[in-house]
Amino acid sequence: MSASAPRPRRDTRGIVDPAELLSRVRFRRHVPAPELRPYLEHYWLMDWELPEPYASHLVPHPSVNVVFQRYGRLGAPAEDARAWAEVSGVGLGLFTQKLTETGRVCGVQFRPGGFRPFAPAWPVSEWTGRRVPLGDAFPGGSASPLAAVLSPEDDHARVAALDAFLLARGPAPDPAAEQAMELVDLVRSDRTVRTVARLAAASGLSARSLQRLFAGHVGVGPKWVILRYRFHEALERAEAAGVPDWAGLAAELGYSDQAHLVRDFTATIGVPPTAYARAVSVP
């Protein structure tokens, strides 16, 4: 990667106890080909060799992912291991993945709103809360890209295979997708956008038109996106050093009160935020 090339984001937002995950797996992100960058967050690669099973947990972003997975001995050809590819729609709850023995994952995280140009036949809500075989979203494709994506030891070769896979399938021009991506970016970057009414005013769309746009191109409604991004920030703050001011954080993120934040956090992660903060601070 040249000095002037863009770099993927480095935060761990959405990962539950990221320090624990990163101590067990090799995790890295890469930027896609220039033609794909408007539609993708990044590629994400994981490799692991574990002496005992480990369960990773993620509070998903409002993004569709295409995921190539392989479980089996290192160095074995992809066709000799358990390998498959799937489209993972926007996850509505906590996502848990059990990692065992030796494995590899190569994933494509699309920007919210960025998947539809590659699979224009269906609204993105078709995939929400679902994990489906790759062919369901990309019917009539050429030979399986599993070996090309999963076999190389070199990251750049895997990235090149992912680039080739996506460039062969689009993107199709879609002004609505561009609008959806811009609006989700606004929600993510502007903490004052706490309601659908505020987002509708910023977009110049009616609330109903905004709902249709998000259903077709993001896969979830605008209110869900707003709530998910502020929850990601709460999770990140719980992982930071020191004891957060929970009442102040609740007000800062737009929760009605501290109790609302605590209920949301506990329902999603399974423990209250204070307990989670204590657990992740233990060396």
Angle between helices 207-217 and 222-239 (to 10 degrees): 70
d(CA 85, CA 70): 9
Model confidence at 12, pLDDT cuts 50, 70, 90, reads confident
- % residues pLDDT > 70 (the chain): 92
Q: Is 53 exposed, middle or buried (0-12, 13-18, 19+ CB in 10 A)?
A: exposed
d(CA 82, CA 72): 6
What are the pLDDT digits (tens) for 231-274? 998 888 888 766 678 888 888 888 888 999 999 999 999 888 88
User: What domains can you pick out in the chain, each with its CATH number?
Assistant: 18-167 (2.60.40), 175-281 (1.10.10.60)
Task: Give the pLDDT confidence score for residue 25 in this predicted structure.
Answer: 96
Task: Give the pLDDT confidence score for residue 95 in this predicted structure.
Answer: 94
Task: Give the pLDDT confidence score for residue 256 in this predicted structure.
Answer: 84
- Taking residues 189-209, what's their average pLDDT? 92
Residue with the larger pLDDT of the pair 196 and 237? 196
Q: Quick check: 192 pLDDT over 80?
A: yes
d(CA 179, CA 188): 14
Task: Give the pLDDT confidence score for residue 5 in this predicted structure.
Answer: 57
Q: Quick check: 77 pLDDT over 70?
A: no
Model confidence at 201, pLDDT cuts 50, 70, 90, reads very high
Whether pTM exceeds 0.85: yes
Q: Residues 55, 97: contact at Cβ < 8 Å? A: yes
Cα 200 from chain centroid?
Answer: 24
Q: Quick check: 78 pLDDT over 80?
A: no
Task: Give the pLDDT confidence score for residue 142 in this predicted structure.
Answer: 61
What are the pLDDT digits (tens) for 118-146? 999 999 999 999 999 999 999 876 667 89
- Taking residues 104-113, what's their average pLDDT? 97
Return the minimum-mean-pLDDT range out of 74-78, 93-97, 176-180, 257-261.
Answer: 74-78
- Over the chain, what is the mean pLDDT? 89
- Taking residues 136-162, what's their average pLDDT? 89
